Amino acid sequence: MLVRHGHSMIRWSGNSPSFLPYIMYNMKQFSMFLILWGLGMSMIAQEQRLETIDTVYLASKTPTPSLNSGKIITVIDASQLQQRPEASVATLINELSGIEINGARSNAGQNLRYAVRGGSNRQVVVMVDGVQLNDPSQIANDFDLRLLPAAAVERIEVLRGASSVLYGSGAATAVISITTKQEENKPITAQFRSVLATNRSAEGDFEKTDWDSYTNHARVSGTFGAFFYNASFGNQYTDGISAIAAPEDAPAFESDVFNRYNGTIRLGVHLSDNVMFSQFLSIDKFKSDFDDAVLFDAEYQSISDQLRTGGHFQWKYKNGIYVFNDNYTWLERTISSSFPAKYDSDSYTFDNYLRHNFSEDLAVVIGLNGNFSSFNSFSIPFGETDFSQDIDEEVASFSIIDPYLNTTYKTPIGLQLHAGVRLNIHSDYGTHLVYQVNPFYIFEFEKSTLKMLGSYGTAYVTPSLYQLYDPLYGNDALNPEESSTLEGGAEWSHESKLRVNAVYFQRSVTNFVDFVTVDPDNFLFQYQNISETFESKGVEVSVSAQPLEALSFRGNYTFTQGAERFTLRIPKHKANAQLQYQVWERLQVGLRYQWVSQREDAFFNSETFENEAVILDAFSLMDFTIRLTASENISLFASLTNIWDEEYEELFRYQTLGRNVHVGFQLDFD
């Protein structure tokens, strides 16, 4: 049971630190962040230019100057991605305000939990190239970020808050929109990147560490007249550490391997200056070893095979644009463990919308979104050797057809308003209306700008097919989860040298679907709706500055006060800071810091047959990166992560990454 749910844990040390190391430890935790934060803030006063992200997409489904967006949207752009060739997609997103991705700092194959504003995976929508992705066979119906290589990504936008009006069921706490690298406007360009790294936990011997991880990614793209193409292939192989840490004074557990392959090809044509069409085919596969959730070493393995295909069509006309995106995903997942299982799922999603500008002050988006999902599951009954089918796609399937409308209006007095409605039409749950109101006002001063914003939105999350139909834990009497989010905040910028924003949020959830104990004596568990109303609240603060042409600073802080039922592994306080310095034209160095406060976790005690709570200590991480543009075509880079080699717990008794070295190069050919 626990294996199928993928609960994760780490090594716990029962040794109490002496007084002096304890003081030094806490001084290190806090002083390094204060140094970075203070350095960044002290440089704000200098009269230089701040480079900021000027355009965002998610708030209104059209490129919009960030100043004219009613939401605070965080962007990881191409230049930031180029500075982080060693990082996974989950690692990059985990450094943004308001987000904690459990598993991003652990073994490469560790299951990921997306905790945004006290929520979970099933309340986050992941989009790739404009269309929502999901896996109907997963417990949370979520897309697995482990399938996506960071080397293929061009840009990431993250919108926090209830966003179901534009992005449908599931967008209760956040939308993560990932744009892959697009074709170049030349007949042929090629790029090859290779990264070699150590992969050790903090318990390992740094001096004896082997080069246990490598990542390669190749891409070729170009444009011939009206036609364009884009093809890529990548592989990541990681060995070296066990998922679970061995008990004290015991031999190290066997290392667990993660091995992933990705291949994509996209072809398209510009039918005219205003009309274009493209189609893609993507194949992704990974094998991931894992250990038993009851905290012992095991030779278990999870294999995921994914095939995706879909397209993009857009037509621009004088006063607007029409867009059609679609994606079909077939995924097969095999679990080799004490509870062998196989799953295969199909999901087809489309989103088409028309954005029309009636005037400079009034624009409307009208669209239709659809999702059709189904899955099969198989297991081996006790005492038998062959798989038998537990769930049939004829039963485990649903369809969602959602018309939606969103309006952007700028009043004569300067007040701007984003407002919209969406009608969820679900094959099992009928119709349900969600809405959002997002007013904001921009104050223009001589040398600075202040944006005040507010938002109230509702969301509607239907149970996953797994939660409804799993033969052991499913409950077909479940009701959809409903939530609402209230936000208020401000963003201030001064002469393009400084940008500071802060948002307060308060979220309420009813009909929450939880995994509960029905009969502890007979080990019976089931998904059920909880009658209570749960609330979470918090504050997200971000700062960015570029006081010198060669120096930039970014920092953020998040406070999350979640309902007690939802706080598992979610820190109440979290902070990130980053300095980037251009030493000279071709050499760039960076320093990053992350601090995470203590969290509560739980584990299943195999002796008492009960879940027990445990407190995970606060921790801090410091990373260093360096990048050299050796020539027009060759870039060299290296990084040292977890410089202090801090031993910490992300998930109880599961290992985390210690001090590791990454080295690599990138070749670009035109």
Tell me the pLDDT tens digit for each residue of 135-176: 999 999 999 999 999 999 999 999 998 899 999 988 999 999
CA dihedral sign, ordered 458, 464, 465, 467: negative
For residue 656 the two structure tokens come to: 């985390």
Pair 660, 199: CB distance under 8 Å? yes
The predicted structure's pLDDT at residue 250:
75
Tell me the pLDDT tens digit for each residue of 269-299: 999 999 999 999 999 999 999 998 777 888 9
Residue 165, SS3? helix
Pair 289, 261: CB distance under 8 Å? no
CATH number at residue 332: 2.40.170.20
199 is in which domain, residue-wise? Answer: 2-669
Burial 317-350 (b: 16+ CB within 10 A, else e): eeebbbbbbbbebebbbbbbbeeebbbbbbbbbb
Q: Is 96 exposed, middle or buried (0-12, 13-18, 19+ CB in 10 A)?
A: buried
For residue 209 the two structure tokens come to: 């560490």
Q: Which of 520, 510, 517 is nearest to 485 (CA)?
A: 510
For residue 130 the two structure tokens come to: 């404009």
Over 50: is that where the pLDDT of 40 sits? no
β-pairing, 174-180 vs 124-128, is parallel
Tell me the pLDDT tens digit for each residue of 468-518: 999 989 999 999 999 999 999 999 998 767 899 999 999 999 999 999 888
The predicted structure's pLDDT at residue 5:
36
Please report where in the chains the tokens 């192989």 appear, as a residue: 237
Give CA–CA dist 598/182, Å, rounded.
Answer: 41
One-letter amino acid at 22 equals Y
For residue 348 the two structure tokens come to: 């087809």
Distance of CA 110 to the CA centre of its chain: 14
Over 80: is that where the pLDDT of 251 sits? no
The predicted structure's pLDDT at residue 263:
97
Q: Which of 348, 342, 351 is nearest to 323 (CA)?
A: 351
Give CA–CA dist 53/94, Å, rounded.
Answer: 19
Give CA–CA dist 136/142, Å, rounded.
Answer: 8
The predicted structure's pLDDT at residue 16:
35
Res. 208 pLDDT band, cuts 50 70 90: low
Question: How does DSSP classify residue 273?
Answer: S
CA dihedral sign, ordered 165, 168, 170, 173: negative
Over 70: is that where the pLDDT of 43 sits? no
Question: How does DSSP classify residue 254?
Answer: P
One-letter amino acid at 155 equals R
Give CA–CA dist 229/223, Å, rounded.
Answer: 7
Over 90: is that where the pLDDT of 620 sits? yes
The predicted structure's pLDDT at residue 20:
35
The mean pLDDT of 535-540, rounded to a whole number, is: 95
End-to-end CA distance of the chain: 53
Q: Which of 264, 263, 254, 262 is nearest to 286 (CA)?
A: 262
Give CA–CA dist 90/145, Å, rounded.
Answer: 7
Question: How does DSSP classify residue 339?
Answer: S
The DSSP secondary structure of 53-122, one letter per residue, reads --EE-TTTTS-EEGGG-SS-EEEE-HHHHHT-TT--HHHHHTTSTTEEEETTTB-TT---EEEETT--GG
Give CA–CA dist 270/227, Å, rounded.
Answer: 6
Over 50: is that where the pLDDT of 33 sits? no
Res. 90 pLDDT band, cuts 50 70 90: very high
Q: Which long-range contacts (CB under 8 A, 24 or more apart) does 120-124 make?
A: 120/566, 122/170, 122/461, 122/464, 122/513, 123/170, 123/171, 123/172, 123/173, 123/174, 123/459, 123/461, 123/483, 124/170, 124/171, 124/172, 124/173, 124/174, 124/175, 124/176
Helix (H) / strand (E) element for 40: namely helix 19-42
Over 90: is that where the pLDDT of 566 sits? no
Strand partners, 233: 218, 263
Query: Could you tell me what percent of the chain has a pLDDT over 90?
Result: 71
The mean pLDDT of 14-18, rounded to a whole number, is: 36
Res. 642 pLDDT band, cuts 50 70 90: very high
C-alpha angle 553/558/563, rounded to 5°?
170
Please tell me the total number of residues recorded for the chain in this structure.
Answer: 670
Pair 629, 584: CB distance under 8 Å? no
Tell me the pLDDT tens digit for each residue of 398-427: 999 999 999 999 988 889 999 999 999 999
Question: How does DSSP classify residue 546?
Answer: E
Lowest mean pLDDT among 4-18, 210-224, 262-276, 439-453: 4-18
* Longest alpha-carbon distance in the chain: 78
The total of structural domains in the chain comes to: 1
Give CA–CA dist 125/616, Å, rounded.
Answer: 28
Q: Which of 216, 53, 61, 54 is nearest to 127 (CA)?
A: 61
Tell me the pLDDT tens digit for each residue of 322-364: 999 999 999 999 999 988 999 999 999 999 999 999 999 999 9
Give CA–CA dist 509/275, Å, rounded.
Answer: 43
Residue 52 phi/psi, 5-degree rounding, is: -130, 165
Tell me the pLDDT tens digit for each residue of 368-380: 999 999 999 999 9
Residue 368, SS3? strand
Pair 563, 533: CB distance under 8 Å? no
Query: Could you tell me what percent of the chain has a pLDDT over 70?
Result: 91
For residue 148 the two structure tokens come to: 């996506």
Q: Which of 116, 130, 121, 96 is nearest to 161 (CA)?
A: 116
Res. 609 pLDDT band, cuts 50 70 90: low
Tell me the pLDDT tens digit for each residue of 213-225: 999 999 999 999 9
Over 70: is that where the pLDDT of 302 sits? yes
Helix (H) / strand (E) element for 436: namely strand 430-444
Top-confidence residue, 632 or 204? 632
